[in-house]
Amino acid sequence: MSCTRTLGANALLSKQPASHLLKAFNSSLAASSPSSSLSYGTLVILRHPSPSRRQFSTTNRHPFKFTNPAPIREFFPVTHTEQIRRTPAAWSHPIYTEAEVNSVVVAHRNAKTWSDYIALGALRTTRWCFDLVSGYRHDKAFAMTERKYMIRNIFLESVAGVPGMVAGMLRHLRSMRRMKRDNGWMETLLEESYNERMHLLTFLQMAEPGWFMRLAVLGAQGVFFNAFFLAYLVSPSTCHRFVGYLEEEAVLTYTREINDIDAGKLPLWEKMEAPPIAIEYWKMPEGKRTMRDLLLYVRADESKHREVNHTLANIDYKEDPNPYSSTYKSDDRPHPNKGIQHQRPGGWERDEVI
């Protein structure tokens, strides 16, 4: 069919009800010949959003936008050029096995020094603020839904990438200022920040935040960045312990989400497929690409950050090399690596790795 009468973009993106749009669309069909071809992709998107967006939605399009709907678009579209085919991830993600992601456990490292107690106190204060802003409460009187969990995930992941970036930047400047090697620390810290950003981009393919969430993220990043920057100048070890405790909370949150899916409390997530960006980044195998599988991968990453930061807090930040980018003299026993084969929720002690 060759259709010469199609709906314009303004008609499709106007604020008319869907029924009016369909009526106009049917009128245009009636005036066309039976043998014409028709492109109706935009209208299909309007009536049938992608599965990942549709299952969160409280409106036709955006799940928790607090402003008027904007024109239909991809939240962060891929940039296409004449010469470049694709831009792969700067850091390839290690491949997790099903047994490894299911072996992650909720754990807490007890505070032992004054530095630990300061970090734990700061964590509890930060957690209270994050819970308040994201509206998170996990109790019977305040049932968490898919929408509430997604708001919390997006907010936390937008802030979780700050510590690695700040610490890596300061390590980089320190190395140049002192004209000494960094001993491999900043690569691991920047990779951690990159990984947290990938978590955020994954969730953003499922839900687009509105203006209130954007302002909350802007304020949280500004306060947290500067606070962590100043704290890291004073005591890097305390900051890494703080991040270790923060990642303990992240593991707990994602574990609760997984348990709620298993308990049937999140029906919209039970058969939801992971977005393409997640499948490519984590190299998710066929048959293991549901929302629950995605949360298992994200939780495994957070458990690794928990281990890494507790380990970095246990060693000498001035002289010791980074255990996660080092080659060891003996392979007779497990050593820290980028995978999660040998998990240490409380981190590796200095005498084990140095």
- Bind-site residues for Fe cation: 157, 196, 199, 247, 302, 305
Residue with tokens 């458990």: 303
Return d(Cα 38, Cα 4) in angstroms, integer: 9
Amino acid at 184: G
Residue 248 and residue 304 in contact, taking contact as beta carbons nearer than 8 Å: no
89: its two tokens: 């991830």
User: HSE-up of 51 (CA within 13 Å, CB side)?
Assistant: 11
- Tell me the CB-side half-sphere exposure of residue 18, using CA atoms within 13 A: 10
Q: Which residue has the tokens 């950003």?
A: 197
Long-range Cβ contact pairs of 177-186 (< 8 A, separation 24 or more): 183/319, 183/320, 183/321, 183/322, 184/321, 184/322, 184/324, 184/325, 184/326, 185/312, 185/317, 185/322
Q: Which residues contact 122 (CB under 8 A, 6 or more apart)?
A: 242
Q: Which residue's structure tokens are 């935040």?
A: 209
| Residue bearing tokens 């099903």 | 98
- Collapse the DSSP code of 260 into the 3-class scheme (helix H, G, I; strand E, B; otherwise coil) and give the result: helix
CB 302 within 8 A of CB 251: yes
To which residue do tokens 């298992």 refer? 296
Q: Residues forming the annotated binding site?
A: 157, 196, 199, 247, 302, 305
